[in-house]
Structure 1
């Protein structure tokens, strides 16, 4: 059957997910590749196990707590193939998050448990907004003691029970900060109460590791610490994977929901 809208038989029809397609082919592609960079960057700098290929990327920062170890598929491939490749390329005894932009089907036969379908959110630069305020002092992390404060707040405020009691260096190594990765801590005097991280890759800012301790809640700390990471690269869009509790805060910061992703955990 012929039709004027059908391409020539030998023409390649891009899906938008081939490795050679530019990152900015779509906002979702940018978000996938930026999160894949986030999954690998800290592990690579810390000389920990990592892998970055055409179909998936991942890094292993620790042996406890899945949030320390991310796996991000880069293409809509069979998750079973990705999981088999993970077992070949990375240690098989550690937990990880499997963060997919695509529905996956049931992965429990592969030892994973469904964490949910959180929304991917994005904020575009230049959107008018009155910046959020807090009575806490927000400082960008520039030294090891402040990085340790950020790590402690994340572990205790997120919370991450698998990493408790807190041990310095269990999540953030001295090499965690770099040109592409920055962190903030909000203080009440000398007491750290909130934290966030910004990672830039592929023209996008990934906002991650937002946590607020109970004594800072109701003081605007969550919005203000998220804003610091969101606007660190002011000409770039910012993206994050929201929790149900955090979503209203991000909407007030003019983030928009793009789609739902799928997150599995290997315990």
Structure 2
């Protein structure tokens, strides 16, 4: 069959997901690869198990709580193949989040439970807004003490019951802080009440681990702590996967819904 719009038969037609395609080929690819870096980098620095291949990436920071460990498919491949590879490459008796940019079908036969289809939201640099106000003092974590404060707020404010009662080092080791990863904490005096993380990779900032303790709600803490992470790299777009409760906050910060992702949990 011939047609003026058909390419030559020997021409490679890129899907946009081959390993050698630049990260900036599309915003979604950029977000997928930046989240893959987020999954791997903290575990690699901490000397914990990690894997980064052509089709998926993941890291294991602990043996409790799925948010501790992330698995990110990097291509639209069969999720069952990824799960089988995870079992070969990483410890098998730990929980994890399986975060896919693509619909997956039913993964319950593989021991996973559906957590939802949160929207990937992005904010683009230069979008004018009035910065959110709060009466709390927002500081960047630069030492072990402030990192412990951030970890406690995340575990108690998110909340993460699997990691309670809180024990320092359950999620953040001293190696968590790095050039590519910044942690923010909001204080009322000496009391830490909110936290967020900014991880940068492939020209994009991933905003993660946003948590606010109940005593800080209604004080603009959620918006302000998210904003601190969002503008850590002012010239980059920022991305996050949003909860239902968080979406109105992120929309006020000029985040826009891009598409829905699919999140499964291996308990």
> TM class by shorter-chain length?
over 0.9
Correspondence 1:28-177 to 2 at 5 A: 28-177=28-177
- 2:182 is aligned with 1:182: yes
- 2:252 is aligned with 1:252: yes
Runs of 4+ in 1 over 4 A off after TM superposition: none
Quote the Cα distance in structure 2 between the aligned partners of 1:80 and 1:241.
Answer: 23
1:98-118 Cα offsets, whole Å, 9 max, x none, are 000000000000000000000
Report deviation, 1:158.
0.1
Report deviation, 1:198.
0.1
Report deviation, 1:169.
0.1
Quote the Cα distance in structure 2 between the aligned partners of 1:126 and 1:80.
Answer: 41
Quote the Cα distance in structure 2 between the aligned partners of 1:136 and 1:174.
Answer: 25
1:35-86 Cα offsets, whole Å, 9 max, x none, are 0000000000000000000000000000000000000000000001000000
- Structure 2 partner of 1:231: 231
Structure 1 counterpart SS, 2:165: coil
Quote the Cα distance in structure 1 between the aligned partners of 2:239 and 2:63.
Answer: 27
- TM-score, structure 2 normalization: 1.00
Report deviation, 1:213.
0.2
Report deviation, 1:226.
0.2
- TM-score, structure 1 normalization: 1.00
- Structure 2 partner of 1:243: 243
Q: How many residues align?
A: 267
- Structure 2 partner of 1:219: 219
Structure 2 counterpart SS, 1:59: strand
1:92-148 Cα offsets, whole Å, 9 max, x none, are 000000000000000000000000000000000000111001000000000100000
Please list every run of 5 or more consecutive structure 2 residues that lacks an aligned counterpart in the other structure: none
Quote the Cα distance in structure 2 between the aligned partners of 1:20 and 1:119.
Answer: 27
Report deviation, 1:5.
0.2
Quote the Cα distance in structure 2 between the aligned partners of 1:123 and 1:46.
Answer: 30
Quote the Cα distance in structure 2 between the aligned partners of 1:225 and 1:51.
Answer: 30
Quote the Cα distance in structure 2 between the aligned partners of 1:4 and 1:185.
Answer: 58
Report deviation, 1:242.
0.3
Quote the Cα distance in structure 2 between the aligned partners of 1:178 and 1:128.
Answer: 29
Structure 2 counterpart SS, 1:41: helix
- Structure 2 partner of 1:21: 21
Please list every run of 5 or more consecutive structure 1 residues that lacks an aligned counterpart in the other structure: none
